[in-house]
Amino acid sequence: MTLLSTAMATAMIAAPANAKDVSVAVTAIVEHPALDAVRDGVKDALTAAGYKEGENLKFTYQSAQGNPATAAQIARQFIGEAPDVIVPISTPSAQAVVSGTRDIPVVFTAVSDPVGAQLVKSMEKPGGNVTGLSDLSPVADHVKLIKEVAPNVKTIGFLYNSGEANSLSLLEGLKVAAKEAGLEVVESAATKSAEVQGAARALIGKADLIYVPTDNTIISALEGAVSVAEEAKIPLMTADTDSVSRGAFIALGFNYYDVGKQTGEVVVRILKGEKPGDIPVNVAAGTDLVVNLVAAKKMGIEIPQAVVDRASKVIK
């Protein structure tokens, strides 16, 4: 063996297992704090595993800006570029990517009902080239929280995009939990962000409390709904903890940066050789309770001290 070949062999042995250059393409249906946090969490998990942008990682990100047609265009572009893994954030983006490839590994995230959205046939055995992470909201816990913070509420106004499969699944779950608690659910739909304020206004006189699920259309234009809630003195809660700092009075949900890190850890497993179809789809771990005392006052509701005391974050 020559001196050069010996040196090359030594370098190969010494190189870390993840030294190979990899490419990860990330896309989201829209930009808002929760989905941005997922993206950042994915990237940081890759960095922690030794995949560093500018060194051995090409990290690409594109937002569809709330447009399903753009989401489909981005999916086609990414599939044509053939990265090592595609990470679609949200149900619409995941549907666009999954429908377009059977070969490139896909790790979806922030999808409430992956089976209902036809991304996988089974949570336990997804099969094929797809796996991911669900952020299925604990709607039964949300109803319990409503009963605790607003015991006089009889009707819950559900503000959502009727074209988002994620929200339709959450609506059905909420109806079941609400019925068991003796509450009624009133729906109001917005198919695009410009309609959110009007959809919220349509709930005045019909709902005692407005509930915003992890619906990207509504959350991207949350301030419009919050202004209606403040004006009409209707408490507005969300399933998205990042929305509390934007004016919701309370939320019980995931820390989406942590959701992103958990997603990134799945991506790392695939980059290191595991097959997506062999990795079960899990529901994200952890839930946070966040309250906004300023928003509560504006909406005419007083949060019980017991709830404030157990909150993971309180905005005063």
Judged against a pLDDT cut of 90, whether residue 2 lies above it is answered with: no
Q: What is the pLDDT of residue 248?
A: 98
Q: At a CB cut-off of 8 Å and minimum separation 6, what does 282 contact?
A: 123, 133, 134, 262
pLDDT(12) > 60: no
Task: Give every CB contact of residue 9 below 8 A, 6+ residues apart in sequence.
Answer: 1
Q: Quote the percentage of the chain above a pLDDT of 90.
A: 92
Own/partner pairs for 201-207, CB < 8 Å, 24+ apart?
Answer: 201/228, 203/157, 203/159, 203/228, 203/234, 204/228, 204/232, 204/234, 206/155, 206/157, 207/155, 207/156, 207/157, 207/234
- Residue 11: band (very low, low, confident or very high) from pLDDT cuts 50, 70, 90: very low
Is it the case that residue 18 has pLDDT exceeding 50?
A: no
pLDDT in tens, 110-131: 999 999 999 999 999 999 999 9
What percentage of the chain reaches a pLDDT higher than 70?
94
The residue count of the chain comes to 316
For the cut 90, the answer to whether the pLDDT of residue 311 exceeds it is yes
Taking only the tens place, the pLDDT of each residue in 260-279 is: 999 999 999 999 999 999 99
pLDDT at residue 105 above 80?
yes
Position 109 scores a pLDDT of 98
Question: Which candidate, 260, 257, 246, 241, places its Cα nearest to that of 295?
Answer: 246
Tokens for 83, please give them. 């990265």
d(CA 98, CA 213): 24
Which pLDDT tens digit goes with each residue over 134-184? 999 999 999 999 999 999 999 999 999 999 888 999 999 999 999 999 999
The verdict on pTM exceeding 0.85 is yes
pLDDT computed for residue 1 by the predictor: 40
Nearest to 199 by CA among 216, 224, 223, 219: 224
Of 211, 208, 214, 210, the closest CA to residue 241 belongs to 214
Give me the chain's average pLDDT, please: 93
Say if residues 235 and 210 touch (Cβ distance below 8 Å): yes
Asked whether residue 17 carries a pLDDT value surpassing 60, the answer given is no
Kindly tell me the burial class for residue 211, based on how many C-beta atoms sit within 10 Å of its own C-beta (0-12, 13-18, 19 or more): buried
Selection from 307, 262, 305, 301 nearest residue 289 by Cα: 307
* CA distances for 101 relative to 85, 174, 215, 287, angstroms: 11, 33, 25, 33
3 state DSSP class of 23: strand
72-87 b/e with 16+ CB inside 10 Å = b? bebbeebbeeebbbbb
Predicted confidence at residue 165, as pLDDT, reads 87
Evaluate if residue 14 carries a pLDDT over 60: no
What CA–CA distance (Å, rounded) separates 35 from 29? Answer: 9
Give the separation between CA 286 and CA 296, rounded to whole angstroms.
24
pLDDT at residue number 20? 76
Count of other CB atoms within 10 angstroms of residue 10: 10
- pLDDT at 7 > cutoff 90: no
Residue 151 is classified by DSSP as T
Is the pLDDT assigned to residue 19 strictly greater than 90?
no
Q: How far apart are CA 158 and CA 250, in angstroms?
A: 15
User: Could you report the per-residue pLDDT of 268-308, keeping only the tens digit for each?
Assistant: 999 999 999 999 999 999 899 999 999 999 999 999 999 99
